[in-house]
Structure formats: structure tokens, C-alpha cells
Amino acid sequence: MSILIDEDSRIVIQGAAGVEGRFHLKQMVEYGSHVVAGVDPMVKEDTIEGIPSYKTLKDAVENHSPDTSVIFVPAPFAFDALMAAINHRIKTIIVITEGVPVNDMLKIKQILKYKSGVHLIGPNCPGVISPGKSKAGIMPGHIHTSGKVGVISRSGTLTYQIVHTLSEAGIGQSTCLGIGGDPVLGSDFVDILKLFKEDSDTECVVLIGEIGGTAEEEAAQYIKKEFNKPVVSFVAGVTAPPEKRMGHAGAIISGGRGTAKEKIEILKASGAEVASIPDEIAEIVKSYV
């Protein structure tokens, strides 16, 4: 099994006529993902990379019934794209766009409280991949292999490094995803851990954190109280200076809170094993799968 996407997922690309949208649409199709349509108000052709294209999501939904959307539209227009996906009852919405205005995301989060069954991943995320089944995002598909380990991360590039190490060690993945690096996100670690908890084919979870915010601390509380599968973690940013943003908009230590040391201690106290460097993760995971 897998979470969020599988071989039956019907994917629509919002922002498909842009450079990034067009490029990654092609990559998803080549990976074997079931991309059913591309949407962009600027589209001038009937197809994009051989996939039917439309100016509105309404037309794409009426003709192809997608259940997953990957959003590549520029940040100022992301709110409208998100609202269209929500209103057309897309179940899994993945926002690759970085820098979506905080107020826009706060409004979306409020709206989603009344929309059960909708999973929003991102913004500023690499997407979701269930190896060998489907890829919805920008991650390099060739480094992933199918298996029993779920991977959740705040960092796209760290995800790639750690997934590559896992695959090289013969450890496959059930589903890998990045929750995103912007300050306000659609899903946090706890939301995804709940899905992995119910996935019978995920035997162990790798959780990749970084400085800033309280996502790792909240995950640790959930792991300690309710999560019944082994968790192996790594937290980036041990040497990061206070009050300085490191990479992601959400990666900033403020008021002495959100440090890597603090997160590591809390994760260890929850029962998770914490690697000191990314390359240690595969060796730790081997004892569980």
C-alpha cells in the first residue's frame, strides 16, 4: 500500500503551461504517473506533452475526474488555484509553489477545517511519491525504490540525500513526501504520521526535521502517545545561529525556541532514534525492516 497517491491516482497539473509545470508534467508522465490533464489560463494548444490541456480546472474535472492536483502557479495566484481545487473536490492537493502569502494560507487552512477528506501538502514542497506507483511533484524518481519505509521531511534536498542512501542500502520506501518549508503549511508531521500509522505496508518511518517552528516537538508528542511504529529521525541545523533564517522561511530560531538541540532531545524522549548525520539513517532503519 501507500499513502496519498498510488497507481490509480488521477493527476491534474495546475500551471501546466509554465516552464516548471510543463517540465515536471513530462517527468511525471515518464515516471508512469497517471496524469490526466493540464490546466493553465495561458494554454494555447489542445495538449501539453501529449496530455489534454484546458484553460480552467472546471473543464478538466468535467472531462477527466482528477482526484489529485499538483500546483505550479506563481505565488500571487496560488490562492485562486487552491480554491478551485478545493471547490472541485480534489482529494489530494500538492502545492509546489514557494512563498504563498501567509494570509492566503491562513484563509485556506480555515476553509479546510470544513472540508473533510482533503489533504493539502505544501506549499514550497517537492511533492509526494509512492515508488513504482506514482509521482506527483518534482522529486527525482530514479533514486526511489519500492518498500516498507515511509519518509516525511521539511527539506526537499535532504529527502533526496536520505532516500538515495536508503535505496543504495537496499531499503525501499512506501511513500516519500515533503511537507514544505513555508511558515504556514497544509499538513504537518502529525497529519502524515496518522496516515502512515494506518498504512499496513509501512513498517518504519523516517522523519527529517530542521530548525524553527514546533512541528518536530508536536510530532514527538504524537509519537510518544499514539504512534506504534519505529521512527528514525534527523534534525538539520545544529550549528545554526539564533534569529537567522536558514534556507526555508519556516527555518528560523526565535526567542531561543526551535533549536535543533531542543528538537533532538524531545524526539529522543519520545522513543524515536535520532541520527547525528544523514548517512547513519540507513543503518538504523535496517534494524527495523
Residues belonging to the active site:
248
Cβ atoms of 170 and 44 within 8 Å: the answer is no
Q: Where are the alpha helices (DSSP H) in 4-155?
A: 19-31, 57-64, 78-87, 102-112
Please report which helix (H) or strand (E) contains residue 148, including its range: strand 146-153
Question: What are the distances in angstroms from CA 10 to CA 91, 106, 134?
Answer: 10, 27, 10
123 cis-preceded (ω within 30 degrees of 0): yes
Residue with cell 517527468: 27
Give me the helices (H) in the chain, please. Answer: 19-31, 57-64, 78-87, 102-112, 156-168, 189-198, 215-225, 260-270, 281-285
Question: How large is the greatest C-alpha to C-alpha distance in the chain, in angstroms?
Answer: 56
